[in-house]
Structure 1
Amino acid sequence: MEQGKIVSIEDRIPKLKQQRKKKANRRLIFLLIFFLFLIALVVYFQSPLSNIKAIKVSGNTVFSNETIVDQSGLTEDMNIWKVDEAEIEQVLLKLPEMKEVKVATEFPNTVVISVKEHKRVAYIMEGEDYIPVLENGKTLSVKGESEFPASAPILFQFSEGNVLEKMIASLGQLPEEVRNSISEIHATPKETDKEAITLYMNDGYEVIATLATFVDKMSHYPAIVAQLDPEVKGIIDLEVGSYFKPYGEGGANENEKEQEEEVEE
């Protein structure tokens, strides 16, 4: 070999020492960063920095945000990493009107509660109060508002039992547009039909029906009314077929011969 290409051991030793020193420095820097990160985590978990700063509630219409937050047990001095999402969901589902609940934590310190409530499909009048009835058939023990509720029909003369349960279940199957157009529903049983009912509509019509065909026929109520003269109110008979009987002057008179008009569903 040519002498100019030979590198002596004495020349290589300083370079090896320098490379080893650089590697040691890099390890030291990595360890320092790692320990600083651990210290920062400990400080974060032990300090108010990891506490809940915001609780967001969505999907609620009956319960206020404050009621849901209070029921959940969440507070802003609680560590966000100690939030048990599944447990809070089960606690909130104990509220009678809760249908679905989803709890999620969002970094760095926000808890999001998304709920879906059972709809109020009817009210039962008790004294001067209106007791809400939910779509799942449950009656709230908490009394409703004392003012006339406009969001759902009021049930009259219904006793607890199969007829009431069937009435509530039928209301839950109706399109919301149709359900909200009903003002009152009266149980009017006959010897031939224990499930006969009479409805008073918000648009001024009276409807005679039976629970056996109530959902199917009332689902077509908007189409039925669209065929009638809005200036002429009367009784829509849906028990057998679909017939319209205009009111006589001062109301329907059974002694008068009533004009009957068949309407298509």
Structure 2
Amino acid sequence: MVQKRVVSIEDRIPKLKQERRKKANRKLIFYLLIFFVLIFIVIYLQSPMSYVKNISVNGLQWLSKEEIINQSEIEENVNFWGVQTKDLEENIISHPQVKEADVSKSFPNTIIMDVTELSHVAYVEMGGKVQPLLENGELLDDVTSSNIHGDVPILKGFKDNHYLQELAGEFSSLSRYVSALISEVKWIPSDSNPYKIKLYMTDGQEVESSIRNLSSNLDSYPSIVSQLDQTKEGIIKIEEGGAVFTPYNVDKEEEEDIEEENEE
């Protein structure tokens, strides 16, 4: 029969004391760690280390970074954790040239502002000034010639904002390729069609059309031009029913014959 070893209470007491001491030490270290972490957090939040150091603004074409930062009303030396991104977004969107805004934080001290601007679809010559026309039909204050972007057309002869608003909507629906081909647009209303316009294209052609359904009518412009004699320039009348090309050097009778042939 195997005899069990009996450990006396005197032998066990030192081991129990040692285990209790280890547990107590581990608890003390844990509490000290929490204490110092909390102290560090308090010091961090009260020190310049927690201030916003960098502001990144993305998506700008017409506005400047400084304009967006000022519009956001973010304060100097603001605490990174105290920044309310929703408030900044609302402030930025209230700018007349901003369509959308998204503000986010990037640890440790960067604020990121992603901005979508309302596109400048044209520049309007009116009253001796040149004013940007936004995609929503709003006109901005006049700009200097150095601030004009050459990839959108100049509008001339417009005296009624109603037609400008409709034209802005059509321009915003145009493809970038076709839009870049338009150099200048003149409003030439007639008794039968107050929406009539003439477009001067960068390839030397002229286009007569209507503000209404302009974007869908001009979708076919590249295809129309590709079928023409590249050495000839003239006027292309584009309507919903089709297009008619009349060279510049054609007299009135020949022009009528061309139109009759196209109608047939």
Bigger share in helix:
2
Q: Same fold (TM over 0.5)?
A: yes
SS in 1 for 2:242: coil
1:134 alignment counterpart: 134
User: Which piece of structure 1 moves more, 57-66 or 20-29?
Assistant: 57-66
Query: What TM-score does the superposition give when structure 1 sets the normalisation length?
Result: 0.90
1:113 alignment counterpart: 113
Q: Please report how far the alpha carbon of residue 138 of structure 1 lies from its aligned counterpart in structure 2 after TM superposition.
A: 1.1
Q: Unaligned stretches of 5+ in structure 1?
A: none
Match of 2:254 among 249, 252, 257: 257
Runs in 1 of length 4+ with deviation above 6 angstroms? Answer: none
2:242 alignment counterpart: 241
Q: Please report how far the alpha carbon of residue 119 of structure 1 lies from its aligned counterpart in structure 2 after TM superposition.
A: 0.7
1:232 alignment counterpart: 232
1:24 alignment counterpart: 24
Contact kept? 1:246, 1:260, Cα under 8 Å: no
Change (3 A) 1:69 1:162: closer
SS in 2 for 1:132: strand
Deviations 1:198-242 (A, max 9, x none): 111111111011233422110111111111122211000113521
Q: How does 1:22-171 map to 2 (within 5 A)?
A: 22-75=22-75, 77-140=77-140, 142-147=141-146, 149-171=149-171
Q: How does 1:185-224 map to 2 (within 5 A)?
A: 185-224=185-224
Matched length: 258
Contact kept? 2:153, 2:184, Cα under 8 Å: yes
Change (3 A) 1:73 1:145: same
Distance between the aligned counterparts of 1:149 and 1:23, measured in 2? Answer: 73
What one-letter code is carried by the residue in structure 2 that aligns with 1:241? G
Contact kept? 1:54, 1:76, Cα under 8 Å: no
SS in 2 for 1:123: strand
Distance between the aligned counterparts of 1:209 and 1:53, measured in 2? Answer: 54
Contact kept? 1:124, 1:133, Cα under 8 Å: yes
Distance between the aligned counterparts of 1:7 and 1:225, measured in 2? Answer: 106
What one-letter code is carried by the residue in structure 1 that aligns with 2:242? G
SS in 2 for 1:238: strand
Q: Please report how far the alpha carbon of residue 156 of structure 1 lies from its aligned counterpart in structure 2 after TM superposition.
A: 1.9
Q: Please report how far the alpha carbon of residue 183 of structure 1 lies from its aligned counterpart in structure 2 after TM superposition.
A: 1.3
Distance between the aligned counterparts of 1:90 and 1:81, measured in 2? Answer: 18
Q: Please report how far the alpha carbon of residue 128 of structure 1 lies from its aligned counterpart in structure 2 after TM superposition.
A: 4.2
2:181 alignment counterpart: 181
Q: Please report how far the alpha carbon of residue 75 of structure 1 lies from its aligned counterpart in structure 2 after TM superposition.
A: 4.9
Contact kept? 2:137, 2:164, Cα under 8 Å: no
Q: Unaligned stretches of 5+ in structure 2?
A: none
User: Which piece of structure 1 moves more, 43-52 or 77-86?
Assistant: 77-86
